[in-house]
Amino acid sequence: GQNIDQPTEMTATEGAIVQINCTYQTSGFNGLFWYQQHAGEAPTFLSYNVLDGLEEKGRFSSFLSRSKGYSYLLLKELQMKDSASYLCAVRDHGNTGFQKLVFGTGTRLLVSP
């Protein structure tokens, strides 16, 4: 089966650092994505990991451990506009070999002044 877990909600203060964790169990792993989604809008791509380790992209970094089925998204120097849902998604081969994204429920991040 496929299962992706992430916390439902987190709060943080402007300027701080926050880490959003994601654990997953899938049958055909081929990469892990993080998306940002503001209410009523489409998910927008933040980062992608397929090999173990840390990928850094400005204020955002993402880490992957395939052996542990674990990833995290690290957001530095938080800004008010970072208040959004953060979606962890695993790219899964599926039964046909074609790839689809399997999403977690998302973590709603509230950044306060």
The nearest distance, CB 45 to other proteins, in angstroms, is 5
Instruction: Give 7-74 as a DSSP string.
Output: -SEEEEETT--EEEEEEEE-SSEEEEEEEEE-TTS--EEEEEE-SSEEEEETTEEEEEETTTTEEEEE
Residue number, 68 or 100, with CB nearest to other proteins: 100
Rule CB under 8 A: say whether 27 interacts with other proteins: no
Rule CB under 8 A: say whether 42 interacts with other proteins: yes
The nearest distance, CB 64 to other proteins, in angstroms, is 15
Q: Which of 15, 99, 110, 112 binds other proteins (CB under 8 A)?
A: 99
The C-alpha atoms of residue 38 and residue 22 are separated, in whole angstroms, by: 19
- Show the tokens assigned to 19: 């880490």
The nearest distance, CB 84 to other proteins, in angstroms, is 14
Task: Give Cα 101 to chain centroid, integer Å.
Answer: 12
Rule CB under 8 A: say whether 9 interacts with other proteins: no
Rule CB under 8 A: say whether 77 interacts with other proteins: no
The C-alpha atoms of residue 22 and residue 71 are separated, in whole angstroms, by: 5
Tell me which residues touch other proteins (CB under 8 A): 33, 40-45, 48, 87, 89, 94-96, 98-106
